[in-house]
Structure 1
Amino acid sequence: MGQVTHVSRRGAVYVWRRRCPARSALQSTGTLQVSLRTRELSTARRVAALVSNAPSGCMRA
């Protein structure tokens, strides 16, 4: 199985985190964090793949 990228645990729930190239007014930390709303790693892998493939506002030039 492939490596899970941008997925980490925060407490008991998995989150997807990615650094943005430039800070925006909405993201003072320079990171985009999305709760995957699951406690299961296998589910987090599937949801993270969908989130990673979705277009991101902070990644636009």
Structure 2
Amino acid sequence: MKSFAKSTVVASLLALASVSAFAHHPAEDIVDELIYQMIDENVSDTPHADLDFTSMGN
């Protein structure tokens, strides 16, 4: 039972450590804002512009 408790603690610590690694996108603050504006302009007249993920998973 001690080994189960130890492995649970280790797994929990690893899970908490990995969350901070994925907290933000790697390209954040690296990619120029003009690129995002260009993407928005190119997508504005396609069905992808209307995507809404607020109900995703319900």
TM-score strictly above 0.5: no
> What TM bracket, shorter-length normalisation?
under 0.3
Higher normalized helix content (fraction of residues): 2
Higher normalized strand content (fraction of residues): 1
Report the TM-score, using the length of structure 1 for normalisation: 0.23
